[in-house]
A and B are shown apart, each in its own frame.
Chain A
Amino acid sequence: MRNPIGNLNKIFDSRIRLGVMSILMVNEEVSFNDLKQMMEVTDGNLASHLINLEENGFIKVHKGFIGRKTNTTYSITKAGEKAFREHIEALENMIRGVK
């Protein structure tokens, strides 16, 4: 028998990383500030999680400008989408297994 927890992605253990991925699944491109507002977290905290997701190749970073202010936006990668879907499936399987 396969261990159902084995399919859970360790990277998505964090609520913040899971939240960022959820938001990016349904929005093409989201700015740092919008993410911060929706997740209700501090700059530093969010930034470290975003770096983690980027290093794992799950999200792409786009650096742009609005006037002189930097505007950093994020979008999900194909690999990120796949990992996220698998994670949801694993969660579903766990719930089914419990019932």
Chain B
Amino acid sequence: MDSQHQPLEALQDIRRMMERSSRFISLSGWSGISAGICALAGAWAVHLRLNRNLSDTGLRGGYEYYTRITGILLIRELVWIGAITFVAALVSAFLFTYRRSQRNGVPIWDRTVQRLTWNTFMPMLVGGLVILRAMQLGYFELVAPGCLIFYGLALVNASKYTLGEVRYLGYGQLILGIFNLWITHGGLYFWAAGFGILHIVYGTLMWWKYERKLS
């Protein structure tokens, strides 16, 4: 073996192995950008749908009315838009990260990814249940802040298992979510800002920092 091992090289090796074995660092900035675009498209679809409904019922104008609309059909439609948005964002985010992990020669389903997945989805799943229950009880104002807050907590939790910067994206979602708890009539705007704009900003910064030189 190489006993000429240089100390700096050895320390870099140690650091690389520690990171590679405990964090999934192939998360692509493009994943953030694509998820953000999906979120904006979803928010736009909801915006159009609500406007149509508001004009149908003569409640044209502000979002302060949307919580009063409890038509089962509308809710069902909005939930569908939400589900499609979620799946589209997830799939597109996965594809870009998959591409990057292939380029890095890192397996896409090793222990670091399993841990990252579990630690991200567990808080989101719990949050999903809370939001579902809130909707059943008619607290529609809590849907947008609930999404933001639970997603923010999920990200802060996930940051230990992937790029540390994810933490700041999480803080951003949490701040928006907490403001949204009181500014309830702006739900859709807060949601679009958090899931759309913040994702795109985060993704662009990450791409700039880690991937720009390589592509």
**A→B interface (CB under 8 Å):** 12-16, 18-19, 22-23, 25-27, 30, 34, 37-39, 88, 91-92, 94-95
9 CB contacts below 8 A, A to B, read A13-B2, A14-B1, A15-B13, A22-B15, A23-B17, A23-B21, A91-B10, A91-B11, A95-B11
8 Å CB contacts to A: which residues of B1-26? 1-3, 5, 7-8, 10-11, 13-15, 17-18, 20-22
The distance in angstroms between the C-alpha atoms of A16 and B17, with both chains bound, is: 10
Q: What 0/1 pattern do residues 15 to 54 of B give for CB contact below 8 A with A?
A: 1011011100000000000000000000000000000000
Interface of B (DSSP majority class): helix
Residue of A nearest to B15 (CB): A22
B: number of interface residues (CB 8 Å): 19
Is B56 engaged at the interface, CB distance under 8 Å to the other chain? no
Whether A95 and B8, one on each chain, are in contact in the complex, defined by CB atoms closer than 8 angstroms, is yes
Complex alpha-carbon distance, A27 and B115, angstroms: 12
Cα A30 to Cα B21 in complex, Å, equals 9
Known: A34-B110, A37-B110. Contact between A27 and B13, CB under 8 A? Answer: no
How far is B31's CA from A28's CA once the two chains are assembled, in angstroms? Answer: 30
B22 touches A27 (CB 8 A): yes
- The residue that A13 contacts in the complex, of B1, B17, B22, with Cβ under 8 A, is B1
B22 touches A18 (CB 8 A): no
Closest-CB distance, A11 to chain B (whole angstroms)? 10
- Please list the 7 inter-chain residue pairs (A to B) with the smallest Cβ-Cβ separation, ordered nearest first: A22-B17, A14-B1, A23-B21, A91-B7, A94-B7, A22-B14, A26-B22
Is the CB–CB distance between A27 and B21 below 8 Å? yes
Are A92 and B11 within 8 A (Cβ)?
yes
For residue A92, give the distance in angstroms from its CB to the closest CB of chain B: 7
Residue of B5, B7, B22, B111 most packed against chain A (CB within 10 A): B7
Residues of A within 8 A of B13 (CB): 15, 18-19, 22
Give, as a whole number of angstroms, the nearest-CB distance from B141 to chain A.
43
